[in-house]
């Protein structure tokens, strides 16, 4: 199990059909991958049709990545696929304490000044 102090989990909810577009934004920001879940949305305006609940089809994207990439991805999503776009994206970020099964970036190595090798 790896410590992941600078890793973040992005949870992105989009209208069905927009997940691939949003994942491309996360990749462009530096994320390596994501998982897409099918979901249903129910907001303040719940609709019924002939006694049947009509829910909006959604996709939930889970992306675990470094903090810098997560912040860049959130900004890109807000600008290009935000709540006022057809994708109608809602995104939030949570810290990741530990992770198993994905590559965690190595902490920046402390380098010694030139000429200090072997001291």
**106 CB-near residues (< 8 Å, 6+ apart):** none
Domains in the chain with CATH codes: 2-43+54-99 (3.30.70.120)
d(C-alpha 4, C-alpha 93), whole Å: 14
pTM equals: 0.76
Query: Each residue of 66-105: pLDDT tens digit?
Result: 999 999 999 999 999 999 999 999 999 999 988 888 776 6
The whole-number pLDDT of residue 55 equals 66
Query: Each residue of 21-52: pLDDT tens digit?
Result: 999 999 999 998 899 999 887 766 666 677 76
3-class SS letters over 61-114: EEEEEEHHHHHHHHHHHHHHHCCCCCCCCEEEEEECCEECCCCCCCCCCCCCCC
């Amino acid at each position: 199990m790896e410590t992941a102090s600078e890793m973040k989990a992005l949870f992105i909810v989009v209208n069905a059909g927009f997940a691939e577009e949003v994942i491309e934004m996360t990749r462009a920001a530096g994320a390596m991958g994501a998982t897409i879940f099918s979901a249903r949305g129910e907001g303040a305006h719940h609709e019924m049709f002939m006694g049947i609940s009509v829910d909006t089809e959604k996709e939930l994207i889970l992306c675990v990545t470094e903090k810098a990439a997560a912040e860049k991805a959130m900004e890109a999503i807000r600008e290009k696929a935000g709540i006022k776009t057809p994708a109608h994206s809602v995104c939030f970020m949570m810290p990741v304490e530990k992770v198993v099964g994905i590559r965690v970036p190595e902490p920046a190595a402390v380098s010694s000044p030139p000429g200090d090798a072997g001291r």
